[in-house]
Amino acid sequence: MSATRLGNLLAALSFVAYGLLPLYYALLPGAQMDELLALRIVTSAPAMLLLILLLGRQPLSLTAIWSDRRSLLLCLVASLLMCVSWYSFTWALTHGQVLAASLGFFINPLMAVALGVLFLGDRLSPAQRWAVLLAAAGIGYQVWQYGELPWLSLVMGGFFALYGLVKKYIRFDALNSVMVEALLLVPLALAYLLWRHESQGLTAASSGFTTLLLYLGSGPVTLIPLVLFTLAINRTSLTMVGLMQYIEPSLQFLLATLVFAEAFDEVKAVSFGLIWLGLGLCSVEALLNSRRRAL
């Protein structure tokens, strides 16, 4: 399997895993987002270290990390960008806004494509151009009908697109870069948890053992798709990753409407329909290109 095909497969698996996350966070309705974010950071670092060791990889030494200060700084930037995107994403999932999360990650590929073209020299195929135009039309129609910008969705998708762009410039390998991102924020997360425990108590610790486990599991459960995404981002183009990301919001859309019974009106039907049409064009183009290469 070529590096590009492997990258595409890893990206697809990443977005399937992301798409199914609402099922996990449905178990934490109205979660305390500050605690959830801090615990995710704290548990992510040892989970990443364990994963690296289990895969037989070598964790980066402190000397190696410090010797590449540019990548270290970019890891800090990436971790902060991911915190904003993750916070808005999990807030939506734990507050009955799964459709908003779905829209956020329908918007994200548009932003990822734009960043890829502007900063990385990616070029769009004819089907990709149509996909971008149709997705923009679908989102624009929803904004026009509702009379307001979907701020939660825009923040979620925009910051994740910026995260993907920054990852392109980090020279650490995929797994170690995610570990470094987590490690950089662990001291802040621990300090916040200690302060909150002393000042008002931790909701995660006072809501029962099952709830505590769910809070603690928020780190590892979100690391799986993030690691797959990180492995994919350096093996394929940002444009391709951006367009494949439609897998995630499509799954979230199905969960929102079929499992969580969120309202889906005619405006959303038109908006999502235009976006899915663009995805279909890209899929057909990719299939035809694959057959031509096989011949």
Tokens 């890893």 belong to which residue?
A: 10
> What confidence score (pLDDT) does residue 243 get?
66
Average confidence (pLDDT) per 10 residues, the chain, 295 residues: 78 86 86 87 85 81 91 95 90 86 78 81 81 83 78 87 90 88 92 89 80 85 79 72 74 88 84 81 74 68
> What confidence score (pLDDT) does residue 294 get?
61
Residues in the chain: 295
> What confidence score (pLDDT) does residue 162 get?
92
Report the alpha-carbon distance of residue 156 to residue 210 in Å, rounded: 28
Q: Please, which residues have CB within 8 angstroms of residue 72's CB and are 6 or more apart in sequence? A: 65, 66, 180, 184
Tokens 């779905």 belong to which residue?
A: 102
> What confidence score (pLDDT) does residue 238 get?
64
Task: Give percent above pLDDT 90 in the chain.
Answer: 14
Contact call for residues 202 and 193 (beta carbons, < 8 A): yes
> What confidence score (pLDDT) does residue 105 get?
77
